[in-house]
Amino acid sequence: MLLPVQVIQTKRDGGQLSPEEIQAFVDGVAKDTWSEGQVAAMAMAIFLRGMQRDEIVTLTRAMLHSGDVMRWQGASALPGPVLDKHSTGGVGDKVSLMLAPIIAVCGGVVPMVSGRGLGHTGGTLDKLEAIPGYRIDPPPEQLLRVLREVGCAIVGASARIAPADRRLYATRDVTGTVESIPLITASILSKKLSAGLQSLVIDVKVGNGAFAASLEMARALATSLVQVAQAAGLPTEALLTDMNQTLGWTAGNALELQETLDFLDGTAREPRLLEVTLQLAARMLRLAGLAVDDRAAYAAAQAALDSGRAAERFARMVAALDGPADVFAAGRALPAAPVQRDFAAPRSGVLAAMNTRAIGHAVVALGGGRRRAGDVLDARVGFSHCRPLGTVVQAGDALLRIHAASDADADEVAATLLRSITIADAAPAEQPVIVEAITG
């Protein structure tokens, strides 16, 4: 029997862990036979010493099999290939909400297991919970029925999915080891592999509002995710996408949901948000064999959106998961903040830069994100009408609109925004929203 201290010492001293040692670690985490101190010591050893690619593959598989793995074959097989997308998180990133129904229209099946907000980044589940009645934790029989009848279901992970990751992540969060690329890779992929996918596309955000602030770190993370997923037998590609400004015109749960509804029904589509959505959709469809190449896949995704079929599919998903029968009608009555105030440009010039991370934290400060795990969110608050970088403004022009629960909250956030947005005399260099593709 391997003692925890022996496994920790191997990695602490820079050694490569054997499959047996990695399995012992994951078993200890999942079965609670390793103490919190031992789990923390192992996480720090991996953070400092790193892991080889085959170690990360073994760790991912062990974490995957610490819980349930969904199987879709047999009499209740789904009507198309099972595929998904994962985002590393950003400010205003509501792509999952429109992407899942687009893919379903095009013949894919998307059992999208999503998460809540983390730090300054918003969570897909938090946005969906702004819909009255929407069920993020359906029983297995309801989930299967929705997938068979609608083709997509955006839900939360059950406690039976990769339980080793649940405990390990909680430890990493309080021990300064979140940024470990091997541990991030195993965390993300163990949960995605548990969904029984046939292909996966990963959106790795890069920029001042992203977990990966530098291109080098984003590229390293995307490469690790793609190569480990492929080694585990899951065809995977990644896109690096820009997060040096909010994605779309809104940040905040009900506001982003309203933007999603407007996007799907064609009322308004912010160009950068549209391009990220369609580019991810194109790669998902091509990887799954639902289109011959990216150009054909992009056109199919665009047609699913423009025809209104993606909007119809989203509405069916919401109704099937116990939300309103007509979410588009219900969406016109989403909760609204009592204080709505335009934030004005302090001078004339060009909107040259924004501290996107600070803007995400401002949403949290308004009550739209969590400072502690048990915090209750205020779905009403956040920002709308966000102007993109490069916009020419006059002093006093609105740069965005603050949605707050009180005047005091709006005043506090306005002071933060004043420090977070730069107006300059010259336009910034144009940054494409699709930075790079990683295919392994």
Express each pLDDT in 204-232 by its tens digit. Answer: 999 999 988 999 999 999 999 999 999 99
Kindly name the residue from 187, 224, 236, 246 that is annotated as catalytic. Answer: 187
- Whether 425 is catalytic is no
86 given a catalytic annotation: yes
Among 116, 120, 166, 191, which one carries the catalytic annotation?
191
Token pair listed for 84:
């998904």
User: Averaged over 408-428, what is the pLDDT?
Assistant: 95
Rounded to the nearest angstrom, the gap between the alpha carbon of residue 72 and the centroid of all alpha carbons in its chain is: 24
| CATH 1.20.970.10 domain span(s) along the chain | 4-50
**Is 172 assigned a catalytic role?**
yes
- More reliable by pLDDT, 301 or 431: 301
For residue 117, the model assigns a pLDDT of 56
pLDDT digits (tens, 9 = 90+) for 172-209: 877 888 889 999 999 999 988 988 899 999 999 999 99
Fold entry, domain 339-424: Aldehyde Oxidoreductase; domain 3 (3.90.1170)
Question: What does the alpha-carbon distance between residue 103 and residue 300 come to, in Å, rounded to a whole number?
Answer: 9
> Regarding predicted confidence, which is higher, 433 or 372?
433
| Residue 54 annotated among the catalytic residues of the structure | no
Mean pLDDT of 101-110: 97
Q: Out of 60, 66, 87, 194, which one is annotated catalytic?
A: 87
Q: Where in the chain is the domain with CATH 3.90.1170.30?
A: 339-424
Q: Is the pLDDT confidence value at 114 over 50?
A: yes
* Active-site entry in 192, 205, 269, 380: 192
- Annotation: CATH topology of 83-330: Pyrimidine Nucleoside Phosphorylase; Chain A, domain 2 (3.40.1030)
Of the residues 85, 269, 272, 357, only one is catalytic, namely 85
Residues, the chain: 440
CB 208 within 8 A of CB 243: yes
What is the edge-to-edge ordering of all strands in the sheet holding 349-354?
Answer: 392-393, 349-354, 421-424
Among 11, 61, 86, 116, the active-site one is 86
According to CATH, the superfamily of the domain at 4-50 is: Transferase, Pyrimidine Nucleoside Phosphorylase; Chain C (1.20.970.10)
pTM for the structure as a whole = 0.92
Q: Is 187 a catalytic residue?
A: yes
Q: Please identify which of the residues 135, 172, 313, 403 carries the catalytic annotation.
A: 172
pLDDT in tens, 247-295: 999 999 999 999 999 999 999 999 999 999 999 999 999 999 999 999 9
Note if 411 is an active site residue.
Answer: no
pLDDT digits (tens, 9 = 90+) for 44-80: 999 999 999 999 999 999 999 998 888 776 546 788 9
Catalytic pick among 114, 124, 177, 194: 124
Active site residue 87: yes
